[in-house]
Amino acid sequence: MRFHRVVLLVFGVAAVAAAQSGANWDYSGKTGPLNWGHLDPAYKACSQGHEQSPIDIRGARLNKSLQPIEFHYLAGPVTLENTGKTIVVHVDPGSYILVDGQRYELEQFHFHHPSEEAVKGKLTDMDVHLVHKSSDGKLAVIAVRFSMERGDPNAVLAALWPQLPSKAGTTVKVTDMINAGGFLPADRGYWTYTGSLSTPPCTEGVRWFVFQDVLSISRSQVRALTSLFPVNSRPLQDPHGRKIEADE
């Protein structure tokens, strides 16, 4: 595999605000994923869209013209927010990526258990979505999957997890220098496809990049998230014949 600097796309701050301003939704029961599209007219894409996320990554075609993504991440303090659906980590301005010459600012990152992305039907124990937005409002998200198979803890999570806000609607400021680059695997080969936000309002037109390599995470780090959110990932969606490309 070639070594890359990459990008990926999904659940921007604007999307978080939109989701929180509409009808209440959840990951189970009457307000769970099967009913999202019927909870609010603004959520109709959740049931009627044909480019929904997440999907099972399989049958990807090699595209040698895909360009590496440049990462320009800075270490700095962050704010942890318990939204009642996940932990969102808000970062200070300054970190960004370059994709085909377009600059996307890193705005936040958040976590799902199990992973929302599947590869040939297999989910991993957790994932992180690093959310970027361009000056004209386009979203770019990096999806990185974690597995407990080796059991080694992730260094970024080791700094964040002891300070997790336990109640929905609360925040905690972390003064430690946190660098989201600690979520990037050494080998940055990726798959990419066009999808949607994976939460209401399920807006489409989001391009996803999913790293092929899986990072290690400890059992205790997974449990720290599941103690707050036992399951907070959307089921896999119909790909409707969408093209999935691989950079290698």
Q: How far apart are CA 238 and CA 112, in angstroms?
A: 20
Terminal-to-terminal C-alpha distance of the chain: 7
pLDDT of residue 21: 60
CA-derived radius of gyration, the chain: 17
pLDDT of residue 18: 40
What residue ranges do the domains of the chain occupy?
13-246
Q: Which residues, in sequence order, are CB contacts of 206 under 8 Å at separation 6+?
A: 9, 10, 53, 139, 141, 194, 195, 196, 197
Q: Which of 1.10.10.10, 3.30.930.10, 3.90.1640.30, 3.10.200.10 is the CATH number of 13-246? A: 3.10.200.10
Q: How far apart are CA 238 and CA 193, in angstroms?
A: 13
Q: Which residues, in sequence order, are CB contacts of 152 under 8 Å at separation 6+?
A: 216, 217, 218
pLDDT by residue, tens only, the chain of 248 residues:
443 434 333 333 334 434 446 899 999 999 999 999 999 999 999 999 999 999 999 999 999 999 888 999 999 999 999 999 999 999 999 999 988 888 999 999 999 999 999 999 999 999 999 999 999 999 988 899 999 999 999 999 999 999 999 999 999 999 999 999 999 999 999 999 999 999 999 999 988 999 999 999 999 999 999 999 999 999 999 999 999 999 98
pLDDT of residue 3: 39
Q: How far apart are CA 118 and CA 235, in angstroms?
A: 10
pLDDT of residue 213: 96
Q: How far apart are CA 150 and CA 122, in angstroms?
A: 17
pLDDT of residue 207: 85
Q: pTM of this prediction?
A: 0.89
Q: Which residues, in sequence order, are CB contacts of 131 under 8 Å at separation 6+?
A: 10, 11, 12, 13, 106, 107, 108, 109, 110, 139, 140, 141
Q: Which of 33, 147, 11 is nearest to 89 (CA)?
A: 11
Q: Say if residues 54 and 232 touch (Cβ distance below 8 Å).
A: no
Quote the Cα angle for 103-104-106, to 5°: 140
